[in-house]
Amino acid sequence: EATDQTDVAEAADAPQGAAVPAPEPTFADFPVHPDIVAALAEHGIVTPFPIQAMTLPVALGGHDIIGQAKTGTGKTLGFGVPLLQRVVSPADEGFDALPAPGKPQALVVAPTRELAVQVSGDLERAGAKRGIRVLTVYGGRAYEPQIEALKNGVEVVVGTPGRLIDLAKQKYLDLSRARTVVLDEADEMLDLGFLPDVETLMAQTSPQRQTMLFSATMPGAIVALARRYMSQPTHIRAMGDD
């Protein structure tokens, strides 16, 4: 009997006449703003990668996430789409009621300037049609344009820990309204000695925040960080990691 059932299951999977494959889900199948879906489509991004398909329902529901997956699996939009979805843009009704300049609604902390620039680019492209302003900050670059952008108001700040702390210390950056916080490549931040800085930043964000942590590996210090700053996180692993 068991053998028969296996045969039936295999037959159903085979590409035979009457079998119609289930359509792959698209970003439009998730509760994502049509302008975000359209912006992604303009860049050829229509079907979520597995880590994205797993992350979207949980993250769009506002839950904390620990994501573990190898490089190139699409983690950026896994957190980026839910992050942008939660952001209120200047084009939205009710924007006037939002807090003043210098108070981003979302923060992404990244270990290196290269990663910060890459993440910002992805967020900018996906959020462009909604008019979401993304600022990238990192060391070794003039403060003035970053300060000017903060004064004008930005919805999302992406940066490396040191420069984020500098701007916060100088009161140009106020993280108290940051209600979406992403720690990208957390294990890399640990290796570079940034965890104390990350903790300083986390402590300044909204206690009501949604926190998403991504890391290729989960050393004890990252697990401890997650325990301290995350609330009942859902663990998501893309297939193929060790």
Alpha-carbon distance 166 to 19, whole Å?
A: 60
Q: Which residue is nearest to ligand ADP (CB)?
A: 76
Binds 65: which of Mg ion, ligand ADP, none (CB < 5-8 Å by kind): none
From residue 218, give the alpha-carbon distance in Å to each of 31, 67, 69, 144, 224: 30, 10, 11, 37, 10
**Stretch 36-75: interaction string toward Mg ion, x if CB under 5 A:** ---------------------------------------x
Of 76, 86, 79, the C-alpha closest to 114 is 76
Answer for which of 16, 71, 208, 232 binds ligand ADP (CB under 6 A) is 71
Least Å distance, CB 47 to ligand ADP, is: 6
Q: Which residue is nearest to Mg ion (CB)?
A: 75
Stretch that binds ligand ADP, among 43-51, 153-161, 199-207, 222-230 (CB under 6 A): 43-51
**Stretch 72-111: interaction string toward ligand ADP, x if CB under 6 A:** xxxxxx----------------------------------
E-only strand ranges, the chain:
65-68, 106-109, 134-137, 156-159, 180-183, 210-214, 234-237
Partners of residue 26 on adjacent β-strands? none
Q: Print burial letters for 185-222: b (CB count within 10 Å at least 16), e (below 16).
A: bbbbbbeeebbebbeebbebbeeebbbbbbbbebeeeb
Least Å distance, CB 72 to ligand ADP, is: 5
Interface with Mg ion (CB under 5 A), residue total 2
Answer for which of 37, 39, 45, 108 binds ligand ADP (CB under 6 A) is 45
Alpha-carbon distance 216 to 241, whole Å?
A: 8
Q: Which residues bind ligand ADP (CB under 6 A)?
A: 45, 47-49, 52, 69, 71-77
